[in-house]
A = this chain, B = another copy of it.
Amino acid sequence: MATVTGVPCASRVPSVCQRVPPLLTDLYQFTMAYAYWRAGRHEQHAVFELFFRDNPFDGGFSLFAGLSDCLQFLRDFRFTDDDVEYLCTVLPSDTHPDFFTYLKGLDSSGVSVSAVAEGSVVFARVPLLEVSGPLAVVQLLETSLLCLVNYASLVCTNAARFRLAAGPKLRLMEMGLRRAQGPDGGLTASRYTYIGGFDLTSNALAGHLFGIPVAGTIAHSYVTSFSSLEEVCPKTLLPCPGGDPVEFVPLVKDWLGRVCQLLGTKPQQVREGELAAFLSYAIAYPRNFLPVIDSYSVQSSGLLCFCAVALALCQLQYQPLGVRLDSGDICRQSLEVANVFGQCSEHFSVPAFKSLIVVGTNGMSEKSLAELKEKDNEIDVVGVGTHLVACTSQPSLGCVYKLVEVGGRPRMKLSEDPDKSTLPGRKAIYRLLGTDGHPQMDLICLSEEPAPKEGEPLNYHSLGTDKDVRSITPGHVTRLRLEVFSHGEITHPLSSAYESRAYAQTSIQSLSAHHKKLDRPESYTVAVSERIHSLVSDIRRGNS
């Protein structure tokens, strides 16, 4: 597609905002922090875990994303005087003044984080982030971390599903900025849909900040802004190899006559404004000619204008790029368009017409991408906006952040809903692979337990309906989380969007087909060790 930057560079800043302010959190984090502080418990060592309870989109897997944003937020975590002055006005009037002094001095120097790599395939109920440090500080981080992980992971997973639905060959372009939740939502969408498997974005700032290839040519407003060939200016074009300027308007009019004759259509149905718009754009960007051709009518105007201008460009030895279809049945139209390209190529002996592409952009969804694989069509690039960035079929992910240990003691929430219960204690997470190399199970153990060993059977309890103890012999074992933040510093290099995208694609490829099916996938096993199972039973009985 047109106008693509070639070389991805490392990411530069996490969002439109250089810094996510720590005041962007729920007020109750401060009332809790105060109560911890008042009880002298604020420095107690605490461990929180971040996870979601169900894979989004009724899917079998998710991608984890948002880590870089979290780490940059953590590194910069510090309240300004202005923040603290505001808090003075909204916290209860009996808040001790020393607490505000304490807030002013807070930073993340006592915080450690271990996390799954950005772009990893992950599953429901597996703790993706472990955040440990002083109780009051790690409590205060909750909402901001959730906010940074939830949408990033959701939209990244959505993009991965669109990619699986479309198959590996179709080029996918994200163009949802205008439909996102404001500037930052749009930027997040562009970044993480690229990581999820998209190729391009329309979002110029995302291109700049994250090194994502950008694309785009013209919209309907450009086409409808023209009404007459008199508006074309300049009217000449230099041939690609050089030489004297050529009068381009009569050349195109001549080609229009020949095209209409070939196709048996009437040139008087052609919209003069549309022809003028295409002519004018081709003169401005003769190497970047890819107009939207449905501003009036594809068959009786847009396609004819395109062919006339594109044939004139070919005559001057430029390579036109193709067309964009933005309304109606784009599969059917793409076939008609390709047929006309074929006729022109053959009749006028213009081989360049064989490599013209068709871009389709009309309310595409995961479902319509899947249908595209089934239907006859000649679409090469699909642009997706609304359904991709708004994640229409499930517009939010329910990541939660739960306390699992404080002062060295495991903690657990039971709740009125059994699904809302948590798993107590500090953990290590292992991914067990089968001898075929596919992931078979994620096993959640207490951190002090020995790691599972390849070829050695171990007992586990699945999370979910099956409560019985079972046994598995892993073919291969990997540790799922890495330490990424310690003593206020990022301890693992941040990945560029390009690197995370490559990692995500490898991670998805490693999944077996029945786990990555989009519709009714086989459920992937997430299990706990026998020791966690007993600890949960103890706490349920009130013994801990």
Tell me the A residues contacting B by CB distance below 8 Å. 2-3, 5, 15-17, 20-21, 23-32, 34-36, 38-41, 46, 48, 69, 83, 86-87, 89-95, 135, 139, 142-144, 146-148, 150-152, 155, 175, 177-189, 202-205, 207-208, 214-225, 227, 231-234, 271, 280-281, 283-288, 294-298, 326-328, 333, 386, 389-392, 395-399, 401-403, 406, 409, 411-417, 420, 422, 542, 544
Contact = CB atoms under 8 A, between A and B. Distances in A.
A383 to B, nearest CB: 10
A422 B2 CA distance: 27
Given A39-B232, A181-B185, A185-B151, A20 B24 contact: no
B26 A16 contact: no
A182 B177 contact: no
A32 B221 CA distance: 9
A505 to B, nearest CB: 23
A46 B35 CA distance: 59
A220 B413 contact: yes
Copies of this chain, complex-wide, total 2
Contacts of A402: 220-221
A420 B327 contact: yes
B416 A34 contact: no
A393 to B, nearest CB: 9
A204 B25 contact: yes
B205 A23 contact: yes
Given A35-B222, A204-B25, A416-B297, A92 B186 contact: no
Give the residue among A3, A146, A219, A398 with the most B Cβ atoms within 10 A. A219
Nearest to A18: B17
B218 A31 contact: yes
A35 B218 contact: yes
Contacts of A28: 202, 216-219
B185 A185 contact: yes
A148 B183 contact: yes
B222 A295 contact: no
A224 B403 contact: yes
10 contacts: A24-B177, A24-B186, A25-B205, A35-B218, A39-B280, A143-B178, A181-B181, A221-B401, A294-B415, A392-B395
A183 B20 contact: yes
A151 B180 contact: yes
Nearest to A44: B225
Closest 10 CB pairs of A and B: A184-B184, A181-B185, A28-B216, A328-B416, A181-B181, A27-B216, A146-B178, A395-B395, A38-B284, A390-B396
A154 to B, nearest CB: 9
Contact of A207 (B36, B86, B333): B86
Contacts of A183: 15, 17, 20, 24, 144, 147-148, 184
Give the residue among A69, A179, A286 with the most B Cβ atoms within 10 A. A179
Contacts of A420: 327
Contacts of A69: 182
A208 B39 CA distance: 27
A276 to B, nearest CB: 9
Given A150-B179, A328-B417, A24 B280 contact: no
A35 B46 CA distance: 59
Given A284-B35, A403-B224, A413-B220, A24 B294 contact: no
B544 A35 contact: no
Contacts of A139: 221-222
A214 B90 contact: yes
B31 A285 contact: yes
Contacts of A178: 26, 142-143, 146-147, 150, 399
B288 A224 contact: no
A30 to B, nearest CB: 7
B177 A26 contact: yes
Nearest to A26: B202
Contact of A94 (B34, B41, B92, B286): B286
Nearest to A30: B204
A386 B398 CA distance: 8
A326 B414 CA distance: 12
A88 to B, nearest CB: 11
A83 B208 CA distance: 8
A236 to B, nearest CB: 12
Contact of A182 (B34, B181, B390): B181
Given A92-B3, A414-B296, A182 B185 contact: yes
Given A182-B184, A188-B181, A233-B40, A285 B204 contact: no
Contacts of A48: 221
Nearest to A34: B284
Contacts of A224: 403, 411-413, 422
Given A24-B16, A40-B233, A183-B148, A35 B285 contact: yes
A34 B218 CA distance: 11
B179 A398 contact: yes
Given A39-B233, A386-B398, A222 B147 contact: no
